[in-house]
Structure 1
Amino acid sequence: MPTAKNPVHASVSASLAQAVLQAAARLGLPRDTLLQACGLEEGALRDPDARIPFVAQQRLWASVAELLPLAEPGLAIGAAFGPGQFSVLGYLLQSSPTFGAALQAAVRYQRLAGEGGTLRLEHHGDELRLIYRPLEPDSLATRTRVLALMQGWLQLIRPLLQQLQLRRVELAQPEPADLSPFDEAFACPLQFAAPDYALVLPASLEQAPLTQGNAGLQQVLLQHAENLLARLPSESLSARVVALLSAQLAQGEPDRNALASHLGMSERTLQRRLAEEGSSYQHLLTETRRQLAERHLAEGRLPATEIAILLGYSEPSVFFRAFRQWTGLTPGEYRSQHARSGA
């Protein structure tokens, strides 16, 4: 699986910092005070496509958490975000023809908003999980930031999708004494102390049309998004392959040629460039399956047969044999061993 970006090297969109500052101002926090606290100058925020250091944005979130006298300042900031809070990414999502297309765009172009975490889309039976795994997960600034982003996503999606109904929200933080801010923000069952932050929705919503879908505008924005993505410091090819494999496995055995085409290269070029990085397609596929399998088994929510399907295996028995080769244990033995060690 791809490793998290080093926080020292990560960056975020200046437009996102602007959105935080504007939302904070609506809630009564002085803009100058926040800018001074995080070490940013107005000139660094004028270009919406510019980048600022992730560590500066974390200082901004820490100041918001300290100065905003509310039980959950992150939820309040998210509710106060304006409609253009994610710049080109936000408008791209709004112009997508379906909710599924918007989610795929969010995952592909997430780095345009920021590199403060990883956004993933996972299918589990009839559920769709939009998962966010942040950098520096244990800091108060991160909790404030993630809650604001989750609320901000819903603020963006709700006007576009009339039948939006969350199945539940999963939060990687202890349950607070006062649940009312969470109930008001999400209006659905809540799971605290979860492995990840996640919005869980019915999988059927993927095909739902968006009210502002605009194919012509979307194509223009897609080209702009690709250009902006190309200007960011590039991830390794191995990391990009792993990200694609993770998304494709639930649809069955990934197609190597189709994956290479998605990356804009031939299958032979893909093999050569992975070899230059000291890796191979088959190695990445095996490692992706192994790490996903261990994660699902450790979480304990899904039966092994369903995990086999999510990893692209046509038969559970093939998965069971592969897992024993990887770990020396059956899936059931691994799950039991993990449960004992956790206890």
Structure 2
Amino acid sequence: MPALHDTAQASVSASLTQAILHAAGRLGLERQALLSACGLGESQLADPDARVPFTAQEALWCALSARLQHPEPGLLLGCNLTPGPFSVLNYLLQSSATLGDALNAAQRYQRLVGEGGELRVEQQDDRLTLLYSPLHPQHPATRMRVLAMMACWVRMMAPLLDDFHLLGVQFRHAAPSDLAPYRSVFACPLRFAAADYAIALPRALGDAPLIPANPPLQQLLRQHAEALLARLPSASLSARVIGLLGEQLAHGEPDRAQLARALHLSERTLQRRLAEEGCSYQQLLADTRRQLAERYLREGRLPAAEIALLLGYSEPSVFFRAFRQWTGLTPGEYRAQQASDA
């Protein structure tokens, strides 16, 4: 996550912007008028992995606030926001094994959705708290934007757990005269004029299994998310290479020339710039394979032969030899050791 004062380069995903516009359409607002109000064109939103300036999306929120007749237009829009079809991160969260795993992924990949603030997850006593610090706390659009996000979080999490409920929510702004919209969405104690926006859950829910959990799918989605994260401008070249390797590995042995083209570099320039960062392509490939292998063995139940395919090995035996060189153990011995330690 970039520093919260770094506003010039902040961006958000085109997919989230599309989701906001779809929600506005369901509420009867005219799409083209909203696009004109924030200075965006359809071509900027055609690629779901594209980025748009955060300032443009703030203008969109202002336009929405002016057009929606509701005591809290952010809560209204958040209850109509369905980011699923537009967000890799949403699919990644839903396929996680537990809510805790999903929240860890949300923290790591939050920049894929946008750079309008920072999400933190804290555990204390019997509470699991999601805190959000917005990039521009005093901006006229922030209240609506964050309320929409919080309402959307609640609507996304509720169907994933059998016993989902909130212990409390808090907001930076003062208490409004009409609390009914808040009570309808959150159904828990409310606190206003707080230091942060926050949602508190029972800590035990962190270990609760998610109903649609799909660990094999999540592994593939993580690889794609790493690749998307690597493409964001602030990442180092080595981090971008690691992300692209993670995406390519699931399709076989990575192609260095193809990877260089994806970064708009020649192979020679790629090698030189990696050397300047103190690493090499082959080193990053080996390190990426080892880290992914250890994570797959530690977190999931995929057979070692399937893990070999996910790491781009044509034969499981090649993976077994490489893993023994890395760790001194076979994949089976490593998995047993991790289970014993746990």
Q: TM-score range by the shorter chain?
A: 0.5 to 0.7
Determine whether 1:18 maps to 2:18: yes
1:92-139 CA-to-partner distances (Å, cap 9, x unmatched) read 000001000000000000000000000001112111110010011112
Q: Which amino acid aligns with 1:194?
A: A
The answer on whether the counterparts of 1:116 and 1:135 sit within 8 Å (CA) in structure 2 is yes
Q: 1:173 corresponds to which residue?
A: 173
The answer on whether the counterparts of 2:48 and 2:86 sit within 8 Å (CA) in structure 1 is no
Q: In 2, Cα distance between the equivalents of 1:225 and 1:22? A: 23
Deviation of the 1:45 alpha carbon: 0.6
Q: In 1, Cα distance between the equivalents of 2:12 and 2:213? A: 27
The answer on whether the counterparts of 1:167 and 1:189 sit within 8 Å (CA) in structure 2 is yes
**Correspondence 1:287-298 to 2 at 5 A:** none
**Correspondence 1:1-343 to 2 at 5 A:** 3-84=3-84, 87-234=87-234
Deviation of the 1:235 alpha carbon: 5.6
The answer on whether the counterparts of 1:16 and 1:85 sit within 8 Å (CA) in structure 2 is no
Paired residue secondary structure (1:198): strand
Q: 2:309 corresponds to which residue?
A: none
Deviation of the 1:24 alpha carbon: 0.6
Q: In 2, Cα distance between the equivalents of 1:116 and 1:85? A: 21
Q: In 1, Cα distance between the equivalents of 2:235 and 2:120? A: 16
Q: 1:86 to 1:140 in 2, by over 3 A?
A: farther
- Choose 1 or 2 for highest CA Rg: 2
Unaligned stretches of 5+ in structure 2? Answer: 237-277, 280-342
The answer on whether the counterparts of 1:161 and 1:209 sit within 8 Å (CA) in structure 2 is yes
Deviation of the 1:46 alpha carbon: 1.0
Per the normalisation by structure 2, the TM-score is: 0.67
Paired residue secondary structure (1:228): helix
The answer on whether the counterparts of 1:131 and 1:199 sit within 8 Å (CA) in structure 2 is yes
Q: In 2, Cα distance between the equivalents of 1:140 and 1:187? A: 26
Q: In 2, Cα distance between the equivalents of 1:20 and 1:217? A: 26
Q: In 2, Cα distance between the equivalents of 1:85 and 1:25? A: 16
Q: Which amino acid aligns with 1:24?
A: A
Unaligned stretches of 5+ in structure 1? Answer: 237-271, 274-343
Deviation of the 1:234 alpha carbon: 2.4
Q: Which amino acid aligns with 1:168?
A: G
Paired residue secondary structure (2:132): strand
Fraction of identical pairs, as percent: 56
Higher alpha-carbon deviation: 184-193 or 80-89: 80-89
Q: In 1, Cα distance between the equivalents of 2:159 and 2:86? A: 16
Q: In 1, Cα distance between the equivalents of 2:142 and 2:235? A: 23
The answer on whether the counterparts of 2:16 and 2:83 sit within 8 Å (CA) in structure 1 is no
The answer on whether the counterparts of 2:18 and 2:86 sit within 8 Å (CA) in structure 1 is no
The answer on whether the counterparts of 1:5 and 1:115 sit within 8 Å (CA) in structure 2 is no
The answer on whether the counterparts of 2:10 and 2:53 sit within 8 Å (CA) in structure 1 is yes
Q: 1:149 to 1:86 in 2, by over 3 A?
A: farther
RMSD: 1.9
Q: In 1, Cα distance between the equivalents of 2:224 and 2:108? A: 13
- Show structure 1 runs of 4+ deviating over 3 A: none
Q: In 1, Cα distance between the equivalents of 2:159 and 2:100? A: 16
Q: 1:339 corresponds to which residue?
A: none
Deviation of the 1:86 alpha carbon: 5.5
1:214-247 CA-to-partner distances (Å, cap 9, x unmatched) read 01110110000000000002268xxxxxxxxxxx
Q: Which has the higher contact order (CA 8 A, sep 6+)?
A: 1
Q: In 1, Cα distance between the equivalents of 2:46 and 2:2? A: 32
Q: Which amino acid aligns with 2:221?
A: L
The answer on whether the counterparts of 2:2 and 2:115 sit within 8 Å (CA) in structure 1 is no
Q: In 2, Cα distance between the equivalents of 1:148 and 1:230? A: 28
Deviation of the 1:200 alpha carbon: 0.4
The answer on whether the counterparts of 1:99 and 1:208 sit within 8 Å (CA) in structure 2 is yes
Q: In 2, Cα distance between the equivalents of 1:43 and 1:66? A: 25
The answer on whether the counterparts of 1:98 and 1:207 sit within 8 Å (CA) in structure 2 is yes
Q: 1:247 corresponds to which residue?
A: none
Aligned length: 239
Q: In 2, Cα distance between the equivalents of 1:106 and 1:3? A: 18
The answer on whether the counterparts of 1:65 and 1:140 sit within 8 Å (CA) in structure 2 is no
Higher alpha-carbon deviation: 110-119 or 159-168: 159-168
Q: 1:85 to 1:129 in 2, by over 3 A?
A: farther
1:180-239 CA-to-partner distances (Å, cap 9, x unmatched) read 000001000000001000000111111000000001110110000000000002268xxx
The answer on whether the counterparts of 1:86 and 1:113 sit within 8 Å (CA) in structure 2 is no
Q: In 2, Cα distance between the equivalents of 1:83 and 1:56? A: 19
